[in-house]
Amino acid sequence: MTKIEVKNVFKIFGSNPKKVFPLLEKNLSKEEILEKTGNTVGVNDASFKVKKGEFFVVMGLSGSGKSTLIRCINRLIKPTKGQILIDGEDVVTASKEKLREIRRKKISMVFQNFGLFPHRTVAKNVEYGLEVQGIDENERRRKAYEALKLVGLKGYEESMPDQLSGGMQQRVGLARALANDPDILLMDEAFSALDPLIRKEMQDELLELQSKMHKTIVFITHDLDEALKLGDRIAVMKDGEIVQIGTPEEILTNPANDYVREFVQDVDRSKVITAESIMQKPIELASPKNGPRVVIRKMKKAGINSILVTDAEKKLKGIVTIDDAVELAKKDNENIEEIIKEIPTVSPDTPIVDIMPMSAEADYPIAVINEDNRLLGIIVRVSLISGIVGEGN
Amino acid sequence: MLTLNIGQWFEVFIKWLKDNFEGFFDIVKNVLESGIVGTEDLLLLLPSIVLIIAITLIAWKSAGRGVAAFTFVGLLLIDSMELWDDTMKTLALVLISALVALIFGIPLGILAAKSKLVDKILRPILDFMQTMPAFVYLIPAVLFFGLGKVPGSVATIIFSMPPVVRLTNLAIRQVPTEVVEAAKSFGSTSNQLLFKVQLPLALPTILAGINQTIMLALSMVVISAMIGAGGLGNQVLKGIQQYRIGLGFESGVSVVILAMVLDRITQAFGNSK
Ligand SMILES: Nc1ncnc2c1ncn2[C@@H]1O[C@H](COP(=O)(O)OP(=O)(O)OP(=O)(O)O)[C@@H](O)[C@H]1O
Ligand SMILES: [Mg+2]
């Protein structure tokens, strides 16, 4: 289900945006347009959809238009042209009252430098979104305390923001954004002002919160590692344009152009590439109902010396080696279930780093299974290595 | 050479105003007059020593012991120079004029902060108001309101308004963008944004503007006495005109003491926030 749909959005800063559109059509660059017209192209024809519950990351260098784009979504900045649909309703043309309603109920924002109200206590900061809605004081206090507990700030409710560390201040920012239980969280470089360690901690906590809350998140960053870690999908921006949208793996393995390629160059691929992207389809499978002779024939035909056994629902039973099967056939025993051995399994989103040590120990391929134990594919050592080196793309 | 008689046009304009808005000027006059006289009466109702102690207590609460001590001694000195009544008359004129300047100045500053257009229009007017020699305001003030306290007050209002307008404007613009964005992003109305976020954060700077406005109002004391506003300014003028150096000095010292007391107290309000 689509939650946010951005359709051909432009934002031109300056006194005469009309002049800019024909130049954009002629493919003039941002610098040329600035020189010719004095207008700055903030966002240039951005289009994308964010699904409900998705963690959508927008990445790009400084000045690429990320902040402008995210501010168009709650109309802190009004797009010059285009549509932004939230649950099908256009924010760009919404009336003042409608816009206020959307901001109060549907979208909250977290800011790079926290944007806290320095004259209000932590709890009063968190209450703010409820206060402007005219919600009863006890009720909003209760919700604020709840939100603060959620982000691990129990006990700091009556502190002033400037008494807290940066990481804690941003937790307040997060609690404030969560207090009115919005569907959508907009986070503009929310962790960029924090120390690396605190930052990592916050990333982990956000992911954990997200696994419980299933918000739709639009997260801005200029840090690729952060984008890869957090994003279900990533949009890469350059000079106001979105140059690529894809899953972290797609961005890494298949960069759309040199700009993206340069961005992803120095990432440790083993941390990002997952089982899913390097697994292969097994050449042949056996059923537990097969007798040993059938199984041996299958292996010989496929040129393999072990075979995975799955049941009618494709659930993984284990592996049978050719030696065991021959042994069983000699005894005239038809029940291969007796010789099925366990093999190591991983889920599709396991990163390569974690698979490598397993692979080093295992004598057999590694099976990739989903949460129902259904076989999705196998990983053999060769594909593991080529995944790391990044061949074949 | 083309000669333009701007002065004459101005005269015509003032006359036209006077003829067409007489009712309005009468209302202004009545309101200001009763405000000032009422305040004077109130201040003079109490024995001087009671008021001195009251002001000293205010100074103590807001600015601490040092300022309180200075206030007490200073005001006693004024009283002992037998300038208490004139000082209270001046204080009444200054307080009412400054109050009116603030009543108009703060909202104007807010408007200028919220609208680029208002800011653009207001800027040259404020420059004009501040750089025009204060004496010049006396002429139209007298034309509209005759002689006495009211024209003095009007000239004082005009002269003392610019700093509070400017500083209110500046103070609101200085509230960090992200904080304003945060308030907006949670669906504040523009009034909620103003009263819950912008004004509280702008308050220290606005209070600095209020302080400056009061100080400028005090600086008009002698000038407005020239058109009959009375008070300490009148004593200073007497000192000059009648060559009574002693009286001139005593009233001058009283103005300075009053200025310092008002300054320290209003400043302290600004800092305590
Ligand atoms: N209010 C404004 N007026 C004029 N130009 C602006 C304004 N806001 C942003 N811009 C310009 O629009 C472009 C995009 O800016 P934006 O802040 O969206 O970039 P960003 O990707 O968020 O960068 P950063 O990583 O530095 O935050 C820049 O060239 C910037 O100079
Ligand atoms: Mg930015």
Residue A13, ligand 1, Cβ within 6 A? yes
On whether the CB atoms of residues B177 and B148 are closer than 8 A, the answer is no
Closest ligand 1 atom to A66 CA: 21
Tokens read off for B91: 């204080």
User: Do A236 and A290 belong together in one domain?
Assistant: no
Domain that holds residue B225: 26-271
The number of domains in chain A is 2
Asked if residue B245 is part of any domain, the answer here is yes
Q: Which of A117, A160, A186 to mutate to test the interface with B (most CBs of B within 10 A)?
A: A117
Question: Has residue B247 been placed in a domain?
Answer: yes
Return the best residue to mutate from A20, A31, A40, A188 for the ligand 1 pocket (most ligand atoms within 8 A of CB): A40
ipTM over 0.85: no
**Final residue in a domain of this structure, among A205, A235, A267:** A267
Domain that holds residue A332: 276-389
The pLDDT tens digits for B161-215 are 999 999 999 999 999 999 999 999 999 999 999 999 999 999 999 999 999 999 9
Between CA B249 and CA B236 the distance in angstroms is: 8
Residues A6 and A75 in one domain: yes
Q: Does A76 lie in the same domain as A223?
A: yes
∠ CA(B64), CA(B69), CA(B71), 5° rounding?
95
Number of CB pairs, chain A paired with chain B, less than 8 A apart? 63
**Residues of chain A scoring pLDDT < 70:** 266, 268, 382-383, 385-393
Alpha helix ranges (H) inside chain B: 6-20, 22-45, 48-63, 65-80, 84-114, 116-131, 134-145, 149-173, 177-185, 190-192, 199-219, 221-225, 232-241, 245-272
A191 and A96 belong to one structural domain: yes
B117 in a structural domain: yes
Bridge partners (DSSP) listed for residue A377: A368
**Cα separation of B137 and B224, whole Å?**
10
Q: Which atom of ligand 1 has the smallest separation from the CA of A11?
A: 12
A378 part of a folded domain = yes
C-alpha A288: how far from its chain's center? 39
pLDDT of residue A154: 93
Distance of alpha carbon A370 from alpha carbon A346, whole angstroms:
8
**Contact across the interface for B185 and A103, Cβ inside 8 Å:** yes
- For residues B49 and B78, the answer to whether their CB atoms sit within 8 Å is no
Domain at B53, CATH number:
1.10.3720.10
- A117: in domain: no
Q: Is residue A156 part of a domain?
A: no
Q: Which residue from B minimizes the CA distance to A186?
A: B185
Nearest-CB residue to A132 (from B179, B181, B188): B188
Residues A384 and A324 in one domain: yes
A133 chain-B contacts, CB cut-off 8 A: 187
Query: Where does a domain end: A221, A236, A267?
Result: A267
Is there a single domain that holds both residue A281 and residue A258? no
Please give the radius of gyration of chain B, using alpha carbons only, rounded to the nearest integer. 21
Looking at the fold, whether A205 and A322 belong to one and the same domain comes out as: no
- Residue A153 belongs to a domain: no
CATH number at residue A61: 3.40.50.300
Give how many domains chain B has, as a whole number. 1
Instruction: Report d(CA B224, CA B148) in Å as an integer.
Output: 9
Per the domain annotation, does A42 fall within a domain? yes
In what side-by-side order are the strands of the sheet with A89-90?
A40-51, A2-13, A81-86, A89-90
Given a contact cutoff of 8 angstroms between Cβ atoms, the answer to whether A295 and A286 are in contact is: yes
Strands A55-60 and A107-110: unpaired
For β-strands A107-110 and A184-188, DSSP reports them as parallel
Give domain status of residue A136, yes or no: no
Choose, out of A67, A108, A116, A132, the residue to mutate when testing the contact with B (most B CBs < 10 Å): A132
**Dist CA A115 CA A125 (whole Å):** 10
Same domain, A334 and A195: no
Cβ(A173)–Cβ(A146) under 8 Å? Answer: no
Picking from A220, A247, A267, the residue at the C-terminal end of a domain is A267
Is residue A83 located within the same domain as residue A188? yes
Is residue A64 located within the same domain as residue A193? yes
Residue of B nearest to A173 (CA): B182
Q: What is the pLDDT along chain B (273 residues), one digit of tens a residue?
A: 677 788 888 888 888 888 888 888 889 899 999 999 999 999 999 899 999 999 999 999 988 999 999 999 999 999 999 999 999 999 999 999 999 999 999 999 999 999 999 999 999 999 988 888 888 888 888 888 888 899 999 999 999 999 999 999 999 999 999 999 999 999 999 999 999 999 999 999 999 999 999 999 999 888 889 888 888 998 998 888 888 888 989 999 999 999 999 999 998 887 765
Ligand 1 center to B105 CA (angstroms): 35
